Amino acid sequence: MTKHLAGEQPQLPETIWRLTAPPLVDCPPLQASIEADVAIIGGGFTGLMAAITLREAGRSVVVVDATEPGWGASGRNNGQVIPGFKWDPDEIVARYGPKAEAVVAMGGDAPGLVFNTIERFSIDCSPVRQGWIQPAYTDIGARRIASRQAQWARRGAPVDMLKPAELPQILGTPIFQAGWIDLRGGSINPLAYARGLAKAAVNLGADVHARTAAIGLRRQGSAWVVECEGGHRIQACQVIVATAAYADDLVAGLRKAMVPVRTAQVATAPLPAAMLDRILPGRHCASDTRRLLTSFRISPDRRLVMGGSGATATLDHSSIVPRLHTAAAEMWGHLGALPWEFAWSGFFAVTNDHMPHIHESADGVICALGCNGRGIGISTAIGKQMAERLLGADARVMPLKPIEMKPFAFHAFRTLGVAFATRYHGVRDKIDKSKFR
């Protein structure tokens, strides 16, 4: 089984999200061969949102997940619903031309799609939409966020610069010198969101099967056949491959079109009121501007949850966890020792241009990957768009157009590359801090 999952164990990781997420709707393993209009491989936000969209349009849908819906990055992230992509709006337009305003809009609107979907299906995932804050702790970072805020403001987004004097009250730490807020963002329990999408898909009539790895994909006449572990098959006219960083060789070239990058999360025990009143008391969520950024928020069960501070391409997150604890102590050490209780990690997919990619064949297979760590909104939006494409949308009007699949440069050296990038970015963050504070 694990060969399908980038080497990870098939059990749900020990995250805090499991403690409060509602149980998964009944998704038994596939027990017989079956036919459907569309087969979807992978039950994260991407695959599940595609299933919902296709069912709402009346298509029959089978979703299979090698482990269970929400097992991948979808159920183990920080739960920050962040607008936009890695690149700023003007950078996207400069790279891809004026029509790329549609891509910018897709990124900006993605949190709205998430929060609307939560409302539409009454998904019990503790949504909080108080805004996403990006604080900066050097002059360089401060200039960058001022430009970013101005670019979004020009496009009519509900964004604002925060007053430096107010940052310590908003964030609970004096280390940042500037910050902006994007009111489109917010936070959720991500595992509960994934399980809520699975429940919505099942209630709409989708067949969703856990513990069912797809191990082969081949053409048979005018149909596609998905071979599943256990010997059963799905015959479908169209196929969506939504395996993200956990992609294998089901579609030739897909695994090598991205690098799976592992990032870690740490969480405290529920915090005492004295700390909760000081750390993000407005229940915003935040990610800073460092190259090795940290993301932080308070969970619905009153824990500080923090991620980032580096990455690895291996299965081992043990070098990242102490860095996260140190980063947290730098921010909130003045409030006392933080009671760390949990640490976990997972892979997200990085592409060579740091943008998500959609790939499609001429005969009905479509895949997407590469949310590059900003995937709650974007993967939800891409799942919907891939479904719309299979329903007949013209590729020319899709914000993210299907592109040719190309291998990630130096894919074979990814472990060294990610380790080098983490060190290099860490050193550059230290230089920035010493020169520009």
Dihedral angle, C-alpha 99, 105, 106, 108, nearest 10 °? 150
Asked if 344 contacts 15 with a C-beta cutoff of 8 angstroms, the reply is yes
What phi and psi values does residue 182 have, to the nearest 5 degrees?
-120, 110
- With binding defined as CB under 6 A, does residue 73 bind ligand FAD? yes
Residues 197-216 binding ligand FAD (CB under 6 A) are 213-214
- With binding defined as CB under 6 A, does residue 242 bind ligand FAD? yes
- With binding defined as CB under 6 A, does residue 186 bind ligand FAD? no
- With binding defined as CB under 6 A, does residue 38 bind ligand FAD? no
- With binding defined as CB under 6 A, does residue 24 bind ligand FAD? no
**C-alpha span between 407 and 255 (Å, rounded):** 8
- With binding defined as CB under 6 A, does residue 346 bind ligand FAD? yes
Q: Which of 24, 34, 36, 64 binds ligand FAD (CB under 6 A)?
A: 64
Residue 193: left (phi > 0), alpha (psi -120 to 50), or beta?
alpha
Taking CA atoms, 314 is separated from 94, 345, 346, 417, 418, in Å, by 34, 11, 10, 11, 9
Cα 145 to its chain centre, rounded Å, is 22
Shortest distance, position 116 Cβ to ligand FAD, whole Å: 16
**C-alpha span between 311 and 193 (Å, rounded):** 25
- With binding defined as CB under 6 A, does residue 176 bind ligand FAD? no
- With binding defined as CB under 6 A, does residue 41 bind ligand FAD? yes
Residues 255-284 binding ligand FAD (CB under 6 A) are 263, 265
Q: What b/e string do you get for 99-128 counting C-beta neighbours within 10 Å, with b at 16 or more?
A: ebeebbebbbbbbebbbebbeebebbbbbb
- With binding defined as CB under 6 A, does residue 374 bind ligand FAD? yes
Pick 390 or 432: Cβ nearer ligand FAD = 390
Q: Which of 131, 172, 307, 399 binds ligand FAD (CB under 6 A)?
A: 307
Q: Which of 13, 44, 84, 172 binds ligand FAD (CB under 6 A)?
A: 44
- With binding defined as CB under 6 A, does residue 4 bind ligand FAD? yes
In the bound complex, which residue of the shown chain has the CB atom lying closest to ligand FAD? 375
Asked if 24 contacts 195 with a C-beta cutoff of 8 angstroms, the reply is yes
Binding site for ligand FAD (CB under 6 A): 4-5, 41-47, 64-67, 71-74, 76-80, 82, 213-214, 242-246, 248, 250, 263, 265, 295, 307, 345-348, 371, 373-377, 379
